[in-house]
Amino acid sequence: MVEVWNHAGVADSDGAPRTRAVLMVDLKNDPAVIEAYRRHHRQVWPEVTASLQRAGILRMDIYILDRRLVMVVETDGRDFQHCFTAHAASHPRVAEWEGLMHSMQEPAPGSRQATWWERMEPVFELEAVPQAAGRSAG
């Protein structure tokens, strides 16, 4: 799959619209909580992954450093908040999962409000530019 980044979002190689957001939140400062979060994400409940996909989430990656979580989420063109709202309301098991995850988290320092996952502000973007056929770099 080839993706093209632009400031409005991402487009798949077939031109289908996509949006990308980068979000952050902190886990509570407790080694047992951090390990529980990692353990749960090694075996995400099938109702959760199916719901995310039905809600328009095409790709989701979560990274951890110490207790800081960073999520990169791509949607089918809809705003990520719309997708997450649909996801959270989709099934009792999903609501249970989201409540469990929320109980392990707290807003990161610098969050503008007491939000769960705070959207990060982009400060730099590098986009590869295809070279013309027959031309070499350098």
- Report pLDDT digits (tens) over 75-127: 999 999 999 999 999 999 999 999 999 999 999 888 877 667 999 989 998 98
What total number of domains does the chain contain? 1
Residue 31 lies in a domain: yes
Residue 126 lies in a domain: no
Residue 135: per-residue pLDDT: 60
Which one-letter DSSP state was computed for residue 76?
Answer: S
Does residue 120 contact residue 23 with C-beta atoms inside 8 Å?
yes
Residue 124 lies in a domain: no
The DSSP code sequence of 2-57 is -EEEETTEEEETT--EEEEEEEEEEE-S-HHHHHHHHHHHHS--HHHHHHHHHTTE
Of residues 86 and 132, more confidently modeled: 86
- Reported as a single tens digit per residue, the pLDDT across 14-63 is 667 889 999 999 999 999 999 999 999 999 999 999 999 999 999 999 99
Residue 133 lies in a domain: no
Does residue 22 contact residue 72 with C-beta atoms inside 8 Å?
yes
Residue 130 lies in a domain: no
Question: By residue range, what is the domain housing residue 89?
Answer: 3-115
pTM for the model stands at 0.80
Residue 15: per-residue pLDDT: 65
Residue 65: per-residue pLDDT: 97
Residue 7: per-residue pLDDT: 35
Domain containing residue 47: CATH number: 3.30.70.100
Residue 129 has pLDDT above 90, yes or no: no
Q: Which two tokens stand for residue 14?
A: 């077939």
Residue 57: per-residue pLDDT: 97
Query: Coil, strand or helix: which one is 134?
Result: coil
Residue 135 lies in a domain: no
Residue 44 lies in a domain: yes
Residue 9 lies in a domain: yes
For residues 31-41, b (16+ Cβ closer than 10 Å) or e, as one string?
eebbeebeeee
Residue 134: per-residue pLDDT: 60
- Residues in Cβ contact with 5 at an 8 Å cutoff, skipping those fewer than 6 apart: 20, 125, 127
